[in-house]
Homo-oligomer: A and B are copies of this chain.
Amino acid sequence: MTTTPRQHQASQRRRDQSSRLEKAGRSGTPVQITLNAVLAALEGNEPKVLCVTRGADHLALPYGPFDPREHRTFERGLRDWVARQTRLSLGYVEQLYTFGDRGREGLGRSLETPIEHLVSVGYLALAGDAAPVDDADARWRSWYRFFPWEDWRAGKPALLSDAILPALDRWTDNRAGTVGDHRRSRVETAFGLNDLGWEEERILERFELMYEAGLVGETPLHESADQKDQPPDVNLKARTGLTMASDHRRILATAIARLRGKLKYRPVIFEMMGPTFTLFDLQRAVEAIVGFALHKQNFRRSVESTGLLMRTGSMSDQTGGRPAALFSVNREALRDRADMGLVIPRLGQKLRAPAKS
């Protein structure tokens, strides 16, 4: 990394150093690799994520070390580690993002002493059900406990209109000129103001804006307290969901965003369903993930037309009304059509009245 172009001709070339562009490939400081897992599952109508307690009072995502001597791939390491610690059967597993230790974009560094030279590889893993975990410190929690403003299933959360949006407004007004304009533009896009419409996948953008504006517990006091910004609102911080250690809430947001997006072009939802289910069960599962209610008749139309489902022949009498047909996944079709997703419209003005059951 210290060679300049001018030194080129003078440099002796060895086999591994035949180009400046690759010259330094073997050097660098060794680092520790940690695997960080967002384990997601559905329990009833709630999307849940497995959390552990870190230290006295912080929630965190479970994590484990990656030892290259033991495992050939990250994913194997992760599966092995989860299998040992829980009895969960992981279906879908997907790498999310790799965070260089000090590269976590400033999020949450105030919560702990930074560990130098630590790299964490984040994974999203879907479990078939939120099975109890044999560990007193591990608990499934609804992910909307961490992002209460993301749950529109019963209508627009009052927290948004009452507290978050006004606070973001103040945050943009704090600055004049391009800084303020830029902030406003980001807020408008992320939160779907001015008819732009709420896009469920922007959960990470929303969280990052709230972090920057000092509206979440993870924001260090000094970050939003420069000369021109208002002091952070302590009362509001208490209402914007549970806090997590380090940048784990950000990783969780990344995972939710990925899952919300993935639903649309991969049939991953079936990784989280039991062996049989009604169409409305499936709809509630999707609604739990995307965070808003869907049009029932259109949902069944689109799902039935995929050909991914088979009627089992039996009926569910758990409905409270007319019995519903039970379906199961057509695994063969699923294998061949791994490219199919569900049609998930954008959140419209009209929200289905929440089911009473």
Contacts and interface: CB of A to CB of B under 8 A. Distances in A.
Nearest to A50: B21
A68 interface: yes
List 10 tightest A-B contacts by C-beta distance, closest first.
Answer: A73-B103, A28-B65, A30-B30, A19-B137, A21-B62, A98-B98, A19-B52, A72-B102, A74-B100, A21-B52
A133 B56 CA distance: 54
A307 to B, nearest CB: 13
| Number of copies of this chain that the complex holds | 2
Interface in A114-151: 115-117, 119, 121, 133-138
A91 to B, nearest CB: 18
A318 interface: no
Contacts of A1: 64-65, 67, 70, 81, 84
A66 interface: yes
A259 to B, nearest CB: 16
A53 B19 contact: yes
Nearest to A58: B18
A21 B76 contact: no
A354 interface: no
Interface in A162-205: 185, 188-189, 199
A226 interface: no
Nearest to A199: B339
A20 B339 CA distance: 37
Interface residues of A, number: 77
Interface in A309-357: 335-339
Contact of A121 (B32, B98, B338): B98
Interface string A52-88: 1111100010111111111111111100010011100
B22 A119 contact: no
A50 B21 CA distance: 10
A41 B337 CA distance: 32
B68 A102 contact: yes
A188 to B, nearest CB: 7
A83 to B, nearest CB: 11
A235 interface: no
5 contacts: A20-B135, A22-B63, A24-B64, A71-B100, A74-B100
A15 interface: yes
A25 to B, nearest CB: 5
Nearest to A201: B339
Contacts of A69: 29, 116-117
